[in-house]
Amino acid sequence: MDSLHSVSVARLEIHGATLRYSALVGSGLIEQLGDRVRRRLPGKTCGIISDTNVGPLFAGRVKRSLTSAGFKPTLITIPAGEKSKTLKQASAICERMIAAGLDRQSFVIGLGGGVISDISGFVAAIYYRGIPHVQIPTTLLAMVDSSIGGKTGVNTRDGKNLLGAVHQPSLVIDDVDVLKTLPCREFNQGFAEVIKHAIIADAKMFEQLQSWKASNPLGLQQLVRRNVKIKSKVVAKDERDRTGDRALLNFGHTVGHGIERAGGYQKFLHGEAVSLGIVAACAISIKRAGLPPWQRDAVVGLLQRFDLPARLPPNFPREKIFDALKFDKKFEGGKIRFVVTPRIGAAYLTRDVMLNDIREAIDEL
């Protein structure tokens, strides 16, 4: 624990072979941003990248805190939503930064959800061949997932996240107060990634989630902390996604991505599609990894507790999910690399899953 202006904050030190940074989890952290950044970064000028929903809510406070600590921030606001995660938008941001006189001594702050995490990180990775990146995630999903791990990027016409770079942040500020304005559906979708973390790595958290209440703010801080720890531990083992350790974080995502794509990225939010993908991955795990069926039922019950979908609507174009899976090109001889869970709290990558197993699981959804 560390405290500045008497607010208690948990500091997580994230270490790996080529990365070292802190994630601070607490409340009232935005007001302390300037002081906290000054302790870590020598630059004076910075770009704050935000979106049209988040900027009006928090950018004023972020700017004030930075200015009173002696920084010169330039706010760049882009339209909210996935459509902004493009190379064109990244290029427009870079041009605004050049016009504002930002250089290799400057740094970038990403203030927003996962879209902003990804595009601001990408801009930080390419601007003057790489400048420091500070993440201020404002969705639960961004706090527990996209702000940790250094994967940055943008979409192309043909698919999501096809262009990008691995660029680790210098500092992550998780101020749970910002979640108060997050719409309920957006808040809940973050729990799909939280429940995924519980299934692959933390049986105790799974149990605690079964009686978790959003009304307890400390509960939320602890939850974010626990999830940042889980994700950063997995990432530290496999920073560049080469050894297969990081693949465990894809639990529920093979079918989840297929569902997102089949729904034209309109029907389901990412976390909702992942929720359905988790249910499918549990069905496959019963068949291929010996997951006890009652544990699948417990997973479904927990997802539903956070208003996440466990069944596809009857008229959903299921065939399209297969087309999307094939687009992923991960099949070799009718088999696919797939993450399964033998029991809640553990997961492994296997090559034993057949295309037909996935077909059956989707039919049952």
Ligand X SMILES: NC(=O)c1ccc[n+]([C@@H]2O[C@H](COP(=O)([O-])OP(=O)(O)OC[C@H]3O[C@@H](n4cnc5c(N)ncnc54)[C@H](O)[C@@H]3O)[C@@H](O)[C@H]2O)c1
Q: Which residues bind ligand X (CB under 6 A)?
A: 51, 53-54, 57, 80-82, 85, 112-118, 138-139, 141-142, 145-146, 149, 151, 160-161, 178, 181-182, 186, 270
Smallest gap from residue 335 Cβ to ligand X (A): 26
Q: Considering beta carbons, is residue 273 or 283 the nearer one to ligand X? A: 273
Query: Token digits for 195?
Result: 């429940």
Smallest gap from residue 365 Cβ to ligand X (A): 22
Smallest gap from residue 29 Cβ to ligand X (A): 13
Smallest gap from residue 129 Cβ to ligand X (A): 20
- Calpha distance 183→286 (Å, rounded): 35
- Calpha distance 353→312 (Å, rounded): 22
- Calpha distance 256→242 (Å, rounded): 22
Smallest gap from residue 139 Cβ to ligand X (A): 3
β-partners of residue 74 are 47
- Calpha distance 109→131 (Å, rounded): 11
Q: Considering beta carbons, is residue 179 or 289 the nearer one to ligand X? A: 179
Smallest gap from residue 214 Cβ to ligand X (A): 14
Residue closest to 86 by CA, chosen among 78, 97, 95, 98: 78
Smallest gap from residue 343 Cβ to ligand X (A): 25
Q: If DSSP codes are grouped into helix, strand and coil, which group holds residue 95?
A: helix
Show Cβ contacts of residue 56 under 8 Å, excluding neighbours closer than 6 positions: none
DSSP 11-62: EEEEE-SS-EEEEEEESSTGGGHHHHHHTT----EEEEEEETTHIIIIIHHH
Q: Nearest-CB residue to ligand X?
A: 114
DSSP 224-236: HHHHHHHHHHHHH
Which amino acid appears at position 341 of this protein? T
Instruction: Find the Cα–Cα–Cα–Cα dihedral 138, 85, 130, 136, rounded to 10°.
Output: 0
